[in-house]
Amino acid sequence: MNAGARYSMDRGDALRALDGAALIALRTRWHHPLLERAARRYSRAGEHAACWLALGLLGTLIDWSVKERRRRWLSGMGVVATSYAANYAVKLAVRRPRPDLDGLPPLSPVVSALSFPSAHATTSFAAARAYRELLPAGPLYLAAALFALTRPYLGVHYPSDVLAGAVLGEVLAARWPRRWR
C-alpha cells in the first residue's frame, strides 16, 4: 500500500471517529426529560416533510389571489417533495444503517433502518431555501438547523447524516429550475 492510500485511510478513520464522538456527545449531553420530549415532538413534525409541505399549502391558500406568490409556494412544495424523494433514493443506494450505541437506545421511532442522509435535514434545508423568498430566511434556517440537530440528539442519525442531508437539500433547491420558482 502506498503512503497516499494509507493517509487516505487514516483520514477516513479519523472522520469516522469524529462522527462517532460527535454522535455520542449529542446523544449524552444536555439531556433532560423535558428537552428530550420537546426534541421528539419537534422532530416528529418533520417526518415525511409534513411541516414543510403544510407550510407551503398554508402559504398557497393565504396567497391564493396573488398569482406570483401562489406559484412560488407551490414551487417550494415541489422542491420539498423532490428533495424527500431524492433523499430516499440516496438512502437506498448507500444503505448505511442507523447508529447502534451500546447502552444508549434511540429516543425516537424511525420509519426506516437507513440513516444516510437524514431526510429531516434534506427536506428542511430544501424548504428553507425554497421559502426564503416568501418568509424571513433566518427563522426558516433556524427551524431547519433544529430539525437537523434533533436527529443525532435523539440517537437516530450520525452528525454526518444531517450534514449530508443539509447539503443535499440546499443543492437540490438551488438547482430547482428557475421557470418553476
Beta strands in 9-159 (DSSP E): none
Full-model pTM: 0.89
Q: At 114, phi and psi to the nearest 5?
A: -95, 140
Q: Where are the domains of the chain?
A: 3-180
Residue type, 118: S
Residue type, 175: R
The confidence score (pLDDT) of residue 4 equals 52
The confidence score (pLDDT) of residue 1 equals 47
Q: Mean pLDDT for each 10-residue chunk of the chain (181 residues)?
A: 54 85 90 94 95 97 91 95 97 95 91 95 98 96 97 95 97 82 54
User: How many angstroms separate the CA atoms of 77 and 89, rounded?
Assistant: 19
DSSP assignments along 58-77, one per residue? HHHHHTTT-HHHHHHHHHHH
- Please tell me the class of the 3-180 domain: mainly alpha
